[in-house]
Amino acid sequence: MKIRAAELRDIPQIQLVRNLVKENRLSDPNLVPDRDVEDYLFRRGKGWVCEINNEVVGFAIVDLVDNNIWALFVHPGFEKMGIGKKLHDEMINWYFTQTGKTVWLGTAPDTRAEAFYRKAGWKEVGVHGKGEIKFELTEDDWRSLK
């Protein structure tokens, strides 16, 4: 298992993983075109991938413009291996070297993602979008968890 910064060549595999997930599925895969992924990876923030045998099996992307987690997904065939946690921690550690601003995300209620973020120390602060739970994580809270 290898965690590394995402590269342009990873976008097709990132899209594959994104469209295979069981929760938080896109109603239409065309809603997130490759150019949007590229924008978030290289202009708005940064992304990481997890590779196993040269295959991208998970990815995470953070947005420094809006100070939010844009994506964190793991291929369904590679769940429960700690990939999400490793990607999350890499991403959050990097984020707080770039800014001290509180980071936020939205996720659907009653999902594994909701439980994951609660366990990782995120705090529920309200509702976002169409009924998603809004979570926030401060730099002080993150440092106290380490």
Fold entry, domain 2-145: Aminopeptidase (3.40.630)
pLDDT of residue 33: 83
How do residues 91-111 score in pLDDT, each as one tens digit?
999 999 999 999 999 999 999
> Model's pTM, two decimal places?
0.93
C-alpha 11/C-alpha 34 separation (Å) is 7
pLDDT of residue 115: 95
In whole numbers, what is the pLDDT of the chain averaged over residues?
A: 93
3-state SS, one letter per residue, for 88-108: HHHHHHHHHHHCCCCEEEEEC
3-state secondary structure at position 137: strand
C-alpha 79/C-alpha 93 separation (Å) is 22
Average pLDDT over every residue of 35-46: 96
- Residue pair 76/22 in contact (Cβ under 8 Å)? The answer is yes
How do residues 59-72 score in pLDDT, each as one tens digit?
999 999 999 999 99
Confidence band, pLDDT 50/70/90 cuts, at residue 6: very high
pLDDT of residue 120: 96
C-alpha 36/C-alpha 71 separation (Å) is 12
Distances (CA, A) of 33 to 7, 11, 63, 103, 141: 16, 10, 16, 24, 34
Q: b/e map of 2-35 (b: 16 or more CB within 10 Å)?
A: ebeebeeebbebbbebbeeeeebeeeeeeebeee
What tokens does 122 get? 């995120």
How do residues 104-140 score in pLDDT, each as one tens digit?
999 999 999 999 999 999 999 999 988 999 999 999 9
DSSP 19-48: HH-SSS--S-GGGS-HHHHHHIIIIIEEEE
